[in-house]
Structure 1
């Protein structure tokens, strides 16, 4: 009877490594159990490192070596660790089968060498986070890609991602701009500088410059996923249309237009106690009504909990939309 067992990749790789023993007829060389002590001192600066064998046995005389680091900038404790690694490799033939005491002037290097780092656990965690990020970004890209495909197919001359040009991308951005909620006041408008988009004027509603930049970045990812590269050749009209100069200029002009209209990035408005008290009193007054309906009671209780949690937690109101019931340990009354 043959039993089958499911093993992971690490165990499988280990088993394959030792398969040579089934047909091997040789023998392993005997390793000496006598460890001899060598004292190695290392040091590193911002551009150079060095080492010296302070004391050794078996006739190993004091030796020194030094070398320069590469052009990559690193913290000094990483350079200290790299100096130890390079020096051990340089003295490999002399240090083999010896016990080595390494002297360094940075305790963080010794602490790092003594850490028991579970690289598999770290990789699994990073893989999980990357997967969540990819799922979120992938959903946004799919929606935008579908919107772009619909726009291109409904042009007077239907196009696809492979046949569109930078000018078509700019037209798509203008079309998306029509669904914005930011009021762009003209210089002659009486409400110029106002952040309220509900004011009664004929000025258009547009996408905020930051939103336009986000759309362009998502378009970049969409074209990269389809293998268009990172460059646009204006001579042959081939490549990566989102990377063209006219698309970059479009974003610059949007920013300039909104800067002239005194459009400021929106920020969450804080709720202070002076505002919370009147709101709470009004909600309590409405809840005390004798003719209140179940629907109205639900809405008022929901708003009351929302405002009080927002105030006492100190979070932005948008953060409360992802609050879980398990996270609420105390009810504010």
Structure 2
């Protein structure tokens, strides 16, 4: 009897032996694919890196490696379209991974790391170096595309009380 089947019996599952397990959500499927891709990346390093030895530097190298497969045009500072959100003509600037895609990827890998037995304290996907890298990518891409990026201020209690609308 499989472990999963044993759990189902313990939990009183009504599924019959021929039923298929529920299909994983799109997020869960993507998380599994991302985790497998990262594991393959580590195995392909020379020398191969075991997960227990993985650190934020390996994660940063992985993110830089993924950049070559990106589909987002990021204008270089010398490009005549640098800072234009919708350039009128094509240019030779590189395609990169979009910041939002990298941010989502790191979120999935961070969760997968802990689900696969890693401790939150040693999670290389949660390190400050990764947060700094993502922030720099976001700011760089925003400037290259001419999108102003302003850090949101945290609301204080005074802001909340003056901004609320009261109806009588």
Q: Counterparts in 2 of 1:233-248, with a 5 A limit? A: 239-248=122-131
Query: 1:190 aligns to what?
Result: 80
SS of 2:120's equivalent in the other structure is: coil
SS of 1:185's equivalent in the other structure is: coil
Query: 1:135 aligns to what?
Result: 25
- Paired positions, count: 126
Shift of 1:138: 2.0
On the 8 A contact 1:141/1:222 being kept in 2, the answer is yes
Question: Structure 2 vs 1, CA of residues 260 and 149 (structure 1 numbering), >3 Å: closer, same or farther?
Answer: same
Query: 1:199 aligns to what?
Result: 90
On the 8 A contact 1:181/1:206 being kept in 2, the answer is yes
Residues 29-80 of structure 1: per-residue CA shift (max 9 Å, x gap): xxxxxxxxxxxxxxxxxxxxxxxxxxxxxxxxxxxxxxxxxxxxxxxxxxxx
On the 8 A contact 1:191/1:199 being kept in 2, the answer is no
What is the alpha-carbon distance in structure 2 between the residues aligned to residue 225 and residue 146 of structure 1? Answer: 13
Query: 2:119 aligns to what?
Result: 229
Query: 1:147 aligns to what?
Result: 37
SS of 2:118's equivalent in the other structure is: coil
What is the alpha-carbon distance in structure 2 between the residues aligned to residue 152 and residue 168 of structure 1? Answer: 8
Query: 1:163 aligns to what?
Result: 53
Structure 1 residue runs of 4 or more that deviate by more than 3 Å after TM superposition: none
On the 8 A contact 1:219/1:242 being kept in 2, the answer is yes
Shift of 1:262: 2.1
Counterpart check, 1:252 vs 2:135:
yes
What is the alpha-carbon distance in structure 2 between the residues aligned to residue 263 and residue 135 of structure 1? Answer: 36
- Which stretches in structure 1 are left out of the alignment for 5+ residues? 1-8, 10-130, 232-238, 265-333
SS of 1:139's equivalent in the other structure is: helix
Shift of 1:248: 0.8
What is the alpha-carbon distance in structure 1 between the residues aligned to residue 146 and residue 119 of structure 2? Answer: 35
Query: 1:214 aligns to what?
Result: 104
What is the alpha-carbon distance in structure 2 between the residues aligned to residue 195 and residue 149 of structure 1? Answer: 37
Query: How large is the RMSD of aligned CA atoms in angstroms?
Result: 2.2
What is the alpha-carbon distance in structure 2 between the residues aligned to residue 187 and residue 137 of structure 1? Answer: 36
Shift of 1:135: 2.8
Give the TM-score normalised by the residue count of structure 2.
0.67
Shift of 1:200: 2.8
Residues 293-326 of structure 1: per-residue CA shift (max 9 Å, x gap): xxxxxxxxxxxxxxxxxxxxxxxxxxxxxxxxxx
Residues 197-245 of structure 1: per-residue CA shift (max 9 Å, x gap): x8132x21111111110010011111011121222xxxxxxx2111111
What is the alpha-carbon distance in structure 2 between the residues aligned to residue 246 and residue 138 of structure 1? Answer: 26
- Which stretches in structure 2 are left out of the alignment for 5+ residues? 1-11, 13-21, 148-168
Query: 1:301 aligns to what?
Result: none
